[in-house]
Structure 1
Amino acid sequence: MTNSDADKSEQYGSQLDRLLAMGKARVAAPTAVVHPCDAVSLSGAMEAARMGLIMPVLVGPRHKVLAAAEAAGVELGETEIVDVQHSHAAAAEACRLAREGAVSAIMKGSLHTDELLEAVIDGTTGLRTDRRMSHIFILDVPNYPRPLFLSDAAINIAPDLAIKKDIVQNAIDCALALGVQEPRVAVLAAVETVHPSMQATIDAAALSKMAERGQIIGGLIDGPLAFDNAISVEAADTKHIVSRVAGRADVLIAPNIEAGNMMAKQLAYLANAQSAGLVMGARVPIILTSRADGRLSRLASCAAAMLVAQHQRSKPPR
């Protein structure tokens, strides 16, 4: 997955399948699966293990993990189980394993997202870095010729400029880890010009200038851009926008969680997009799976986490 201005040469296809193929070619990442105490979460983790995407360490009450395995008809074999009393303890133990380097990724099991992230952000025992954490959707949109990264649609509600800077850097780092060379980042607003009364346009312009000054690295950033001229060359040309990003974006940065969440769901339900997802900005990537996620989404998220974990080992978050 490389950028090229010769967009017509890029072929449409399943970006998540390509992601899986990349993952299968690498070494499985040791991954703490937090409280995998239902059939869905446990079977998903074990299938990822069979495909060589993760090396699971199951963290949860042993009797519940074994009961989930029986219910799912899954053979655990020699898979390590770290026995803890409850889901809160499982989240804390997974963070400890990550801090000590025993695992290089964390995967959510059958506990609430808030419970897992509460352990991750703990200032003493968690996995915080100097970077703000953010969620990134990795989208396979059938009529878009490249993977589309969208952030933040799940964690940061109304990010200010400083938080948006971290959201952008996290997204760039994720795209780089997944093989996108010099990701093109579109910082979105309702319009593509700066309006003093529209904070999203001011933030977008500031982020573009911050990238020019080396405060954000690794990608090409432009904004404000509206959604249409971020992803459509024709729309950008119609507006006479001269930009290396407009019409060819790899990364979309939403102005707030409402906009990001609506974009992700609209692409899923109206454009048949499939998605994987990660939380970036912690010491290790975090896979936030959901009961509603399909098989491909779960597996692709594991593949993405493995690729990011390898990238982080060479270039840890600042």
Structure 2
Amino acid sequence: MDPTASPYDAGPHWHQTGEQHRRLIDSTRELATLTTAVVHPCDEPSLGGALAAWREGIIAPLLVGPRPRIEAAAAALGESLEGLTLIDTPHSHASAELAVRLAAEGRAEAIMKGSLHTDELMSAAVDRHKGVRTDRLMSHVYALDVPSYPRPLLISDAALHIAPDLAAKRDIIQNAIDLARALGIDCPRVALLSAVETVRATLPSTIEAAALCKMSQRGQIRGGCLDGPLAIDNAVSLAAARQKGLDSEVAGQADVLIAPNLESANMIAKLLIHLARAQAAGLVVGARVPIMLTSRADDVETRLASAALAARLARTTPGEESS
């Protein structure tokens, strides 16, 4: 598969769970392996996910954590760590700091979360002096493979920013657009969600949506097509959008959903995962390197899809994604 092409196609309206993500994983075959600092992989799921991504040829793992605990996890999996780099640290805090330093120094091209708390890893990542922050705010993007939706669906921000203001939302949107473009979506359609489609003074999310659309028109957000406010039915259903008489390039066929706040983004993503059998992958974007925030409950395919997202983003040729 051409690594510059989108790993997705329109396909049938219904597809098997994970089908889009499998195409995403397959699209990394011709990409260079991504040197990845795997932070504190001290349990079976996190170590197993890293080893699976290594076997798929997506990452070259640098296992950062207490050697005895990593070796114990490998033994429990019946796996050998022969030929892999294992960097011994005393505890999870030291693991996070060292992994981030490897990335900051250019010795790692991506970071993968293991069996430590997200706050612990992200605290190291955002450190002004030792971290991997840039001028842009970091944000989390869910990439969902929803069986009833014909294209990948990116949702942000459901993990980091509780109540982002207008400036933060600008960065959240730009990060999501950049990831979508790295996946081969030339001009991602971005739906700015609210409860209604009209601007109302009593509903702040509608005012912010209108402002963000104008910011896009003025070049403050680049590389995507924005519309909002849109209720979620009109963002993902062409029938609903037509019923409302919405004349929009985004309505009914959104690639990216931007929620008003973390709570609403998290609820949308979790509902799709648990009620619509969506398979989730996730990435923190906006740092100097992609950061894979995996959950203990994530299965191997989800971890592989997250690694594939990181590989596509890291290998995007400068200029292919928006600046």
Same fold (TM over 0.5): yes
- Aligned match of 2:304 in 293, 299, 302? 299
How many percent of aligned residue pairs carry the same amino acid?
56
Q: Which runs of 4+ in 1 moved over 3 A?
A: 1-4, 9-13, 312-318
Q: What are the ranges of 5 or more consecutive residues in structure 2 without an aligned counterpart?
A: 1-5
User: Is the counterpart of residue 65 in structure 1 residue 65 in structure 2?
Assistant: no
Residues 183 and 231 (structure 1), Cα distance of their counterparts in 2 relative to 1, 3 Å cut? same
**Is the CA contact (8 Å cut-off) linking 2:124 and 2:131 kept in structure 1?**
yes
- Encode CA deviations 1:22-71: one digit per residue, 9 max, x unaligned: 12232210000001111111111011100101110001112221122112
- What CA RMSD, in Å, does the superposition of the two structures yield over aligned residues? 1.8
| In structure 1, C-alpha distance between the alignment counterparts of 2:160 and 2:99, rounded to whole Å | 20
SS at 2:73's partner residue?
helix
Give TM-score, length-normalised by structure 1: 0.95
Determine if contact 2:181/2:320 at 8 Å carries over to the other structure.
no
Q: CA deviation at 1:265?
A: 1.0
Residue matched to 2:151: 146
What does residue 174 of structure 1 align with?
179
Instruction: Please name the residue that 2:52 is paired with.
Output: 47
- Counterpart CA distance in 2 for 1:61 and 1:35 is 7
Match of residue 116 from structure 2: 111
Per the alignment, do residues 143 and 317 of structure 1 end up closer, same or farther by CA in structure 2, a change over 3 Å counting? closer
CA contact (8 A) 1:3 1:182 kept: no
Distance 2:210 2:317 in 1: 29
Total equivalences in the alignment = 315
The aligned residue for residue 36 of structure 1 is 41
Q: Distance in 1 between matches of 2:319 and 2:82?
A: 32
Which stretch of the first structure deviates more once superposed, 66-75 or 202-211? Answer: 66-75
TM-score by length of 2: 0.94
> Any stretches of 5+ residues in structure 1 without a counterpart?
none
**2:112 matched to 1:101?**
no
Aligned to 1:219: 224
Report the counterpart of residue 264 of structure 1 in structure 2: 269
Residues 198-213 of structure 1 correspond to what in structure 2 (within 5 A)?
198-213=203-218
Structure 1 residue 269, shift from structure 2 partner: 1.4
Matched, 1:15 2:20: yes
Instruction: Answer with 143-152 or 35-44: which moved more.
Output: 35-44
Corresponding residue for residue 3 of structure 2? none
CA distance in 2, matches of 1:312, 1:92: 28
Pair 1:88-2:93 in alignment: yes
| 1:27 matched residue in structure 2 | 32
* Separation in structure 1 between the aligned mates of residue 209 and residue 94 of structure 2, nearest angstrom: 40
CA contact (8 A) 1:2 1:181 kept: no
